[in-house]
C-alpha cells in the first residue's frame, strides 16, 4: 500500500504522517509507504500506485479539485481524503467521489475511525477470487462480481462483462465472501452492494438496472441498513 499526502503546509503534512504511523502501530499493521508532496504537479508526476491520498484543496498552481479529478481518471479505485479549512469546496470535491472530507486542525481520533473504513474498502478492492468451472479456474477481483445466483447445485457468477457457471453451490460462496460489500438477499442470490442501482421490497436492481436479484421480504430492512451503511463507508 502507498499513502500520499499533498499539502503545501509542510508542518501539517508531517503531523498527518505521524498520526498515520500511530494508527498502523496501534492496530499492529504493516507500515505502508508514506510519501509527502507540497504541490499537485509533483504528485501527478508520481506514476507509482496511489492507494490512499490525503489532498489539500488550496495550493499554489493546480488546486485540489483538479488534482482529485485527475487521480480518479487515472485510477477510479483511489481512496481520496480531502483535508481543508474551506467548506465551500465540498460540493466540487464530492463530484469526484471523495472518500472523506477532513477539516483542519486535524482530529486524530476521527482520522483513526476513517482509516479503518478506508482499509476495509481498500482490501475489498484488491481481493482476488477464484471461480472453478468445468473448463478451468478463473481469477477475478471481488469488486468485479456483480452477483451470484444459485443454479441447481451449482452457481452462476455474474460479472459486468461475463458470466461463469461455477461448480460450487451458494453455501460455498457464503463462506468465501466475508466482505462488507456482499449480502445474501435471498436463498438463491448474493449481491455486491457496490453494483446496486435501486431496490424495492422484492427486487434488487444492479448495474444500472441491467440485472435483477430477488430480495426476501423479511430481509428488506436488514438489506436496506447494510446498503446505507456501505454507502456511508464510501463517502
Q: What is the structure's pLDDT at 115?
A: 93
Query: What's the mean per-residue pLDDT of the chain?
Result: 89
Query: How do 33-37 and 2-6 pair as beta strands?
Result: parallel
State percent of the chain over pLDDT 70. Answer: 93
- Of how many residues is the chain composed? 235
pLDDT at 93 over 70: no
| 92 pLDDT tier (thresholds 50, 70, 90) | low
Summarised one tens digit per residue, pLDDT across range 180-205 is 789 999 999 999 998 999 999 999 99
pLDDT at 117 over 90: no
What number of other Cβ atoms are within 10 A of residue 61's Cβ? 11
Summarised one tens digit per residue, pLDDT across range 168-182 is 999 999 988 877 789
Helix (H, G, I), strand (E, B) or coil at 111: helix
pLDDT at 66 over 70: yes
pLDDT at 112 over 70: yes
> Structure pTM?
0.64
The mean pLDDT value for 10-35 works out to: 95
Summarised one tens digit per residue, pLDDT across range 124-152 is 777 889 999 999 999 998 889 999 999 99
pLDDT at 20 over 70: yes
State percent of the chain over pLDDT 90. Answer: 61
pLDDT at 235 over 70: no
H or E segment to which residue 110 belongs: helix 108-126
In sign, the C-alpha dihedral spanning 66, 67, 72, 74 is: positive
| 24 pLDDT tier (thresholds 50, 70, 90) | very high
pLDDT at 33 over 90: yes
Phi, psi for 89 (deg, rounded to 5): -90, 0
Summarised one tens digit per residue, pLDDT across range 205-225 is 999 899 999 999 999 999 999
What number of other Cβ atoms are within 10 A of residue 85's Cβ? 11
Amino acid at each position: 500500500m502507498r499513502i500520499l499526502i499533498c499539502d503545501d503546509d509542510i508542518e501539517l503534512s508531517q503531523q498527518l504522517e505521524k498520526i498515520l504511523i500511530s494508527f498502523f502501530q496501534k492496530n499492529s499493521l504493516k507500515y505502508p509507504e508514506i510519501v509527502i508532496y507540497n504541490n499537485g504537479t509533483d504528485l501527478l508526476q508520481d506514476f507509482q500506485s496511489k492507494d490512499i491520498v490525503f489532498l489539500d484543496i488550496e495550493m499554489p498552481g493546480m488546486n485540489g479539485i483538479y488534482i482529485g479529478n485527475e487521480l480518479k481518471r487515472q485510477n477510479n479505485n483511489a481512496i481520496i481524503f480531502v483535508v481543508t479549512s474551506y467548506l465551500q469546496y465540498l460540493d466540487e470535491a464530492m463530484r469526484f467521489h471523495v472518500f472523506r472530507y477532513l477539516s483542519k486542525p486535524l482530529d486524530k481520533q476521527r482520522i483513526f475511525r476513517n482509516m479503518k473504513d478506508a482499509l476495509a474498502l481498500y482490501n475489498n478492492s484488491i481481493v482476488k477470487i477464484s471461480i472453478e468451472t468445468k473448463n478451468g479456474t478463473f481469477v477475478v477481483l471481488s469488486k468485479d462480481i456483480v452477483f451470484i445466483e444459485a443454479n441447481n447445485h451449482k452457481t452462476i457468477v455474474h460479472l459486468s462483462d461475463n458470466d461463469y457457471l461455477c461448480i460450487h453451490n451458494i453455501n460455498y460462496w457464503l463462506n468465501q465472501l466475508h466482505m462488507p460489500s456482499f449480502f445474501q438477499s435471498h436463498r438463491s442470490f448474493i449481491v455486491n452492494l457496490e453494483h446496486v442501482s435501486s431496490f424495492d421490497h422484492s427486487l434488487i436492481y444492479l448495474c444500472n438496472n441491467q440485472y435483477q436479484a430477488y430480495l426476501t421480504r423479511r430481509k428488506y430492512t436488514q438489506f436496506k441498513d447494510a446498503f446505507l451503511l456501505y454507502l456511508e463507508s464510501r463517502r
